[in-house]
Chains A and B, each alone.
Chain A
Amino acid sequence: MNALWAVTLATLVKDIRLEWRSKDALNSMLFFSLLVVVIFVFSFDPLAEESRHIVGGLVWVAFLFAAVVALNQTWARELRNQVLDAYRVSPAPANALFLAKALGNFIFVSVLEALMTPLFVIFYNLRVLGPAWQLIPIAVLGTWALVVNGTFFAAMSLRTRSREIMLPLLLFPISIPAVLGMVAGTTAILTGEDSAHFYIVLLLTYDVVFTTACLTLFGMILHAE
């Protein structure tokens, strides 16, 4: 157990260091999300009441597409110089690599969300009518739902020829329940018309089920030729 956490931490620190130096994932995610915000702002000019109904969808679609950029980068750097082979021949647990990658992606996407959310609030003149604190569990659980499956499917499509295309094809369909929960939960909180409790429980269940499945299956993915 100690080895698992020690390797997870070492791999996470290494990934953050690599991202800090290259900024590949963060820059492209930020650029993409900014583009989405600007395009939507110029495309239609909703009233404050309308904004509260549509922003939940816009925000999460923007974050979902932007996250795919980071998810592809995660494993791409392990392919350069075949570094992944050095991990595969080591006694380090496969799950430590998966956890570190998922946690790394969670941090990168969370940073993106922290930077982009104020822009959404300003551009769409948002005022939350429901309990605002509930946006935090929705954001945390929703982001984890995106990155845990994304990290797994990005690893799975690692050895395919067109992995950039494969990842969204695998990830988006399986993320539908989570995305629906995130969008509906966010809208419920913004409008104050409904309780977000059901969506928080839905996201929590989704996260537990898929995190367990990914951890169980990742060893096979890592050691497959």
Chain B
Amino acid sequence: MPIPDSERVGILPLIVTDTPGSTITVNNVIKQFGRFAALRGVTAEFDAGRFHAILGENGAGKTTLLRALAGLAQPTRGEISIFGRSPQEACRDIGYMAHPSLLYDEMSGMENLRYFGSLYGIVGDARCEEVIRAVGLDPELTRAVGQYSQGMRQRMSLARAILHDPRVLLLDEPFSNVDVHSARAMVGLLKGMRDAGKTVFVITHQALLLEGVADEFVWMQAGEIVDRTASLARSASSAEGIQ
């Protein structure tokens, strides 16, 4: 029996990605803006097919790390490898959601997705409608994105990021200004993507939403990764270091 539209929130047909042994590696990455170092020699290896939550205070370097992974910020020194390729070479496999919406305010959600789909060779409306429903919005909505509430804009921004079914999802504050119910639906959607083998990176200040869902919590401070834990509880030594 077909699922009614009203119940399709969080449901997205996915191509199951099998990437055993594949990793995303960050090797001694330094990123400087003038004299300020936003990343100070970050070295890490992230397993594919896992959900990584990146946590830390403002200015810890979380967004810069995510932008470097997306290929938007070129490291001053060091290397980044996405499944053995540079971020630019792997761009088709990357879905990126930034703090700003990355959407045209004057166009409707569907018009936005149609355009961004064309950049990935997606033709037709079926996939666009699918992802809009998956994030809990109505594809028939003709209102311009500029007239959406902040929460709706966030969800449409997530729809844009997952439109081309990327293997790696990089999400910067996807739950900000989203009500708890919708945020949980978004977490469910991301969990489904992880279960289908996608690698998910989420920067958030609402870490409790990801407890029991994220496979790993990556703690950043002053441009460095200071701890990596399986739950929200920090190891005593690194927690002391942060305080």
Contacts and interface: CB of A to CB of B under 8 A. Distances in A.
Interface string A191-225: 00000000000000000000000000000000101
Contacts of A86: 96, 102-103, 116, 119, 160
B119 A17 contact: no
Given A17-B111, A225-B73, A85 B103 contact: no
Nearest to A83: B102
Contacts of A81: 100-105
A90 B73 CA distance: 14
A61 interface: no
Given A86-B160, A91-B120, A18 B92 contact: no
Nearest to A19: B106
B72 A91 contact: no
- State the main secondary structure of chain B at its contact with A: loop
Interface in A90-143: 90-92
B74 interface: yes
A88 B72 contact: yes
Nearest to A80: B105
A7 B98 CA distance: 23
Given A7-B118, A91-B91, A85 B102 contact: yes
A159 interface: no
Interface residues of A, number: 25
Given A7-B118, A90-B120, A85 B96 contact: yes
A82 B121 contact: no
A17 B107 contact: yes
A143 B101 CA distance: 34
A40 B159 CA distance: 53
A22 B146 CA distance: 13
A6 interface: yes
Contacts of B88: 223
B71 interface: yes
A11 B119 CA distance: 9
Contacts of B98: 82, 85
B74 A225 contact: yes
Smallest CB-CB A-B distances: 4 pairs: A10-B118, A92-B119, A90-B119, A86-B102
Interface of B: 70-74, 88, 91-92, 94, 96, 98, 100-107, 111, 115-116, 118-121, 160
Given A14-B111, A14-B115, A85-B96, 17 more contacts: A6-B118, A10-B115, A11-B115, A17-B111, A81-B102, A81-B103, A82-B100, A85-B72, A86-B102, A86-B103, A86-B160, A87-B119, A89-B71, A90-B116, A91-B91, A91-B92, A91-B120
